[in-house]
Structure 1
Amino acid sequence: MANWKNNNNSPEKDLSSIGAMFETNKIKKMYDISELYPTKIIKLLGINSERYSVKLADPEKFTVSEILRLAYILNIDPNLIINVIQAETEKKIISKISVNRAKQTR
């Protein structure tokens, strides 16, 4: 696993507090961070606010690059973000796969 700690430029205290929330498993859904310094995160991610809100509400829409950038911004392992996204979207994914399997058996 790569070391994703941002050693060259540690995050500001407000962003490191978000990272600490991921590290202590206090973030259960990506939307939990929606009110936490969104303008700063949006600017650093390089996406617009509407797109950010959509992705927080439906986190499977985050690209790998966006997850990696967010991890770097928050100075955390990207797997912490991926784990939240996976837990949040697992039921939806299982449902989609079940529907697709049912279509194949027809």
Structure 2
Amino acid sequence: MGEDPEIEIKRKIEEAIHRLISIEQKNLQREEEAIMKENLNAQILEFERKLKIIQQKNKETKLFMFVGSIYGTITGVTIYGVNCLYNEEINLEMGGVIIIGSILIGTLIGGLTSKYR
């Protein structure tokens, strides 16, 4: 036997409403996922920008340290040369210490200059 037409129509209306609700929930989920994707993309772009800044600073620091080590080498060799002329003797141990110390100090000064400039 067939159902009462009124009951059958009400049941079909309820099914249609249920399908509409589930479709709307899926649409809301998709919108939320799209918003989350946009937020994640914005975060990724921000992190990439920060990474570029850090990489640029690292390059600058290395450059300053390299230039500092060159100036340290020149200074150390000059000090050692003047010391050898003044004492009229060549002392390789002291020369090595002076030159290496000057390189290290120049590198340190170069690194600090790039950090605090």
Same fold, TM exceeding 0.5?
no
Higher helix share: 2
With the shorter chain as reference, the TM-score category is under 0.3
TM-score normalised by the chain length of structure 2: 0.25
TM-score normalised by the chain length of structure 1: 0.27
State the structure with bigger RCO (CA 8 A, min sep 6), 1 or 2.
Answer: 1
Structure whose CA Rg is larger: 2
